[in-house]
Amino acid sequence: MVVLSRVLLLALVFLVASATLVHAKGKKPAPEEEGDQGDEGDELVPHDQWKTAAFFSGSIHYPRSTVEMWPDLLKKAKQGGLNVIETYVFWNLHEPVKGKFNFEGNADVVKFIRLVQEHKMYVTLRVGPFIQAEWNHGGLPYWLREEPDIIFRSDNPSYKHHMEAFVTKIIAMMKHEKLFAHREIENEYTHVQLAYKELGNSYVQWAANMALSQNAGVPWIMCKQKDAPDPVINTCNGRHCGDTFTGPNKPHKPTLWTENWTAQYRVFGDPPSQRSAEDIAFSVARFFSKDGTLTNYYMYHGGTNFGRTSAVFTTTRYYDEAPLDEYGLQREPKWGHLKDLHRALNLCKKPLFAGTPGVQRLGKETEARFYERPGTDMCVAFLANNHSTIETTVNWRGQEYFLPPHSISILPDCKTVNPFQPSCKPSQRQETTGTYHLLKDATDYGWFTSSLELGPYDLPMKESICPVLRIPSLGHAMSVFVNGEYVGTEHGSHAEKGFVFERPVTFKQGVNHISLLCMTVGLPDSGAYMEHRYAGPRSITVLGLNTGTIDLSQNGWGHRVGLNGENLQVFTKMGAQKVQWTKAAGKGRALTWYKTNFEAPEGKEPVAIRMAGMGKGMVWVNGQSIGRYWMSFLSPLGQPTQSEYHIPRAFITPGQNFLVVLEEQEADPKDIEILTVNRDTICAISTEMHPPHVKSWERKGGELKTVGPVSEPVLSSSVQTSKRLLLWTLQALALLRACVEPTNLANATLRQPGRLLKSIAWDGLHVQSLWTPSFSSKLILAQISTSRHLLSK
């Protein structure tokens, strides 16, 4: 056991970051003045000596602010009730070129630590040297990649050599400056340890032994490492370590929370990240009620990723919802609420660390955790209501106490109350299933539905912040509805089937219904292990709530195969009679059925339908599907890959023909056209220099001879004036030079007998009308009713 009488020292030894609580040698923090919430003369030391004070720590990274900002940041942290400051050591900042070190300006880590000491606080120094921290390359200098045969963060001789050299240099600097600190080495290695197999296990042991060999005189910590070797202390990272942390792996080790996330860092494309002050306060109170010793707010001041220091896609502003914002200003109510929490907990410090613990169940969702010393009035109690929505009243030692939902009330003397409240949680859990497995190739469409109940404290408090629904999917397309309102559509491509749906959504207080219409666009037709291909959503999360990000992936999802309109076969004349149609007007809502009638075009020319103004869906003529259309998926040239779709003459009957369109997106069908295709026009170039036609020659007896008189080159063409020509159809002339244009349907000669009118029908939500009359046909205008009618008729 190491007991320091002069300095506070904690050391974190885990394979990612190294931390240290620092003070100048021969000094320790001076007694706290009135209102400082600190502990007079207390030190942070290992084992049983830890339980002398509550340590409230905040992460402030020295290179993410300027030297000029440091004093004010530390002053406000001290005023907010902190007595510990945590920071990483940034290897690629200090050694950007191999063997050349930089400790100037805001890289002056020694100066920063001395300023912390001047403000009568300790330091947790996370040496790393791999730190992650959303910092470029995780803090590792780029030159390290160029070292021969190196493998980062494994039992690799080259990596261990350079890692030990840097750690030794930093520890030597601290010793030379007579600074001591709580230290961490490595960072959250457990996330990658299995990937390195035995080299990962041996690396953990080596890192711990290497750190201990520095003889720093302080304990070391490994965050999120359950099997941290003695005497290294395993710690917790997360939002609710009071509930998720299994505790130290040995009884003589303290319970430490090295990262209590005050929100979440953001990458470009992310919505705002939030975590309410109440939720943070609740989690801290719960942690200390369960024998907690230290909590560190990550971040207390996020600051700025200057220059090119941010990690891949990470925003320049770091942790913008921290208690001190990017500019060093106090973010209320977070800063003030946590300050009040620290004061309340400091009122409890004597019974909290000297009393005997106990737990008493007060009800199904309520409990009391208390610490008291028998025979004295030393007592503190934490009354918890764990129900997320229902308030209650409990009786504790003969006195009634009102407990708000999901709250902890702190009784510093087992009588007086200080409440702290956070909020919601999702409901029962059942994960979604794969789209291929669900649909079994019977339809393109499958519904995934669930609900989310939100309380008044869950929704964003700021009008400028809106929750965002994020759904990574393995394909192929998906439309999203919230409370019956269309949110948007996203899709993949042939080259990359997967995509990420990410849209702002409007939630209401109470129950919110989320419906995902997941779509396939055919099954795979090549490649190995086709039977193991997967499509559909991979995860479903809600970002930007006051409570933080909520994972709904296993939130009791219901599944349904196909659409109502498919099941009722509204694309047939008989099926269309089962629902109520209304006249369309303008752009229809997403997922709408349209119907109309058109007269058979005259002649025998092929017929096509041009889906101008539409998005994505399917078309039926007289009950027969002509296939999928997709106009909203544009090529790199900004045009749909296919605009005209063939209607076989065999599908068309004399007189009236019944046309139905299922549109998945918001669209207006007024510009849809029926056309006939003409490819009988010839376009060619002929001059006196061109040779005769190939038919002027034949081979007989092995010799090439002319057939008849050889005529001069002649070009003639005949064009019907009634046709609207989009492209001249070319005939290639063998042995002649010719200008041959492409003959794809999109550029073919088409005739336009008439223009269809709109007729909308909402599948599952609402439905509308049809089309305006074209040429001589009289169209029936109608529109499908709501989903209730679809289900009841």
- Cβ count within 10 A of residue 102: 13
755 part of a folded domain? yes
Asked whether residue 304 falls in the same domain as residue 199, the answer is: yes
Give the residue with greater pLDDT, 83 vs 699.
83
Give the catalytic positions in this structure: 188, 259
Closest CA to 273 of 41, 467, 563: 467
Asked if residue 50 has pLDDT above 70, the reply is no
- 240-254 tens-digit pLDDT: 999 999 988 888 889
Summarised one tens digit per residue, pLDDT across range 112-124 is 999 999 999 999 8
What is the pLDDT, as a whole number, of residue 703?
57
pLDDT of amino acid 45? 37
Same structural domain, 509 and 596: no
Q: Which residue pairs, CB below 8 angstroms and at least 24 apart, start in 735-739?
A: 735/691, 735/694, 735/697, 736/690, 736/691, 736/693, 736/694, 737/685, 737/690, 738/684, 738/685, 739/683, 739/684, 739/685
Pair (503, 539) in one structural domain: yes
Same domain, 209 and 267: yes
Which stretch of 138-152, 697-711, 715-729 has the lowest confidence by average pLDDT? 715-729
pTM, to two decimals: 0.62
| Sign of the dihedral through C-alpha 631, 637, 641, 644 | positive
Do 141 and 99 belong together in one domain?
A: yes
Give backbone dihedrals phi and psi of 725, rounded to 5 degrees, phi first: -90, 125
Q: What is the mean pLDDT of residues 675-688?
A: 64
Position 572 confidence tier, pLDDT thresholds 50, 70, 90: very high
Q: Where does the pLDDT of residue 718 fall: very low under 50, low under 70, confident under 90, or very high at 90 and above?
A: very low
Residue 725, domain member (yes or no): no
Question: Model confidence at 224, in pLDDT bands (50, 70, 90)?
Answer: confident
Q: How does pLDDT run across 329-368, given as a tens digit for each residue? A: 898 889 999 999 998 898 888 888 889 999 999 999 999 9
Res. 702: pLDDT tops 60: no
Position 425 in a domain: no
Can you tell me the distance from the alpha carbon of 350 to that of 378, in angstroms, rounded to the nearest whole number? 7
Together in a domain, 411 and 444: no
- What's residue 266's pLDDT? 83
- The 10s digit of each residue's pLDDT in 498-509 is 999 999 999 999
Question: Please, are residues 139 and 131 in contact by the beta-carbon 8 Å criterion?
Answer: yes
Percent of the chain topping pLDDT 90: 37
396 shares a domain with 293: no
Q: Is 563 helix (H, G, I), strand (E, B) or coil?
A: coil
Domain interval for residue 506 = 435-524+532-562
Token output for 690: 């061109």
CA dihedral 327, 333, 338, 343 (to 10 degrees): 120
Per residue in 742-756, pLDDT tens?
A: 212 222 223 333 322
H helix intervals, 347-433: 349-354
pLDDT at 709: 64
Render pLDDT for 152-195 as a digit per residue (tens, 0 to 9). 888 999 999 999 999 999 999 988 877 765 566 666 777 777 78
Residues 374 and 442 occupy one common structural domain: no
**Average pLDDT for residues 560-571, to the nearest whole number?**
91
Verify that 552 and 666 share a domain, yes or no: no
- Among 370, 395, 420, identify where a domain stops: 420
- pLDDT tens column, 266-325: 887 777 778 889 899 999 999 999 999 999 999 999 998 888 888 888 888 899 889 998
Residue 197 and residue 305 share a domain: yes
Mean pLDDT value of segment 423-452: 70
Q: Does residue 25 have a pLDDT over 70?
A: no
Contact 32, 120 (CB under 8 A): yes
Bridge partners, 490 (sequence order): 478
How far, in Å, are 387, 397, 430, 677 from residue 404 at the CA level? 9, 19, 29, 72
544 in the same domain as 395: no
Structure tokens at 699: 């081979």
Looking at residue 644, its pLDDT comes to: 86
Q: Which CATH number is 500's domain given?
A: 2.60.120.260
- Looking at residue 182, its pLDDT comes to 55
CATH label of the domain that carries residue 291: 3.20.20.80
* Cis status of the peptide bond prior to 648, with omega within 30 of 0: no
736 within some domain: no
Q: Is residue 340 part of a domain?
A: no
Whether 700 is in a domain gets the answer: no
pLDDT greater than 50 at residue 151 = yes
Most distant CA pair in the chain, distance? 131
Distance separating alpha carbons of residues 402 and 417, to the nearest angstrom = 10
- Rounded average pLDDT over 765-781: 26
The answer, yes or no, to whether residue 653 has pLDDT greater than 90, is yes
Separation between Cα atoms, residue 325 and residue 302, nearest integer Å: 7
Rounded to the nearest 5°, which phi and psi values hold at 484? 80, -5
Across 711-716, average pLDDT: 52
Give me the number of domains the chain comprises. Answer: 4
User: What backbone phi and psi angles, to 5 degrees, belong to 735?
Assistant: 65, 10
Least Cα distance to 549 among 420, 406, 453, 425 occurs for 425
Are 295 and 362 members of one domain? no
Answer yes or no: is pLDDT of 729 > 90.
no
What is the predicted pLDDT for the residue at 680? 58
Query: Is 82 inside any structural domain?
Result: yes
More confident position, 155 or 35: 155
Query: What CATH number does residue 603 fall under?
Result: 2.60.120
Q: What is the pLDDT of residue 417?
A: 65
pLDDT band with cut points at 50, 70 and 90 for residue 430 = very low
Q: Is residue 403 part of a domain?
A: yes
Residue 730 has pLDDT above 70, yes or no: no
Q: Which of 294, 329, 364 is the last residue of a domain?
A: 329
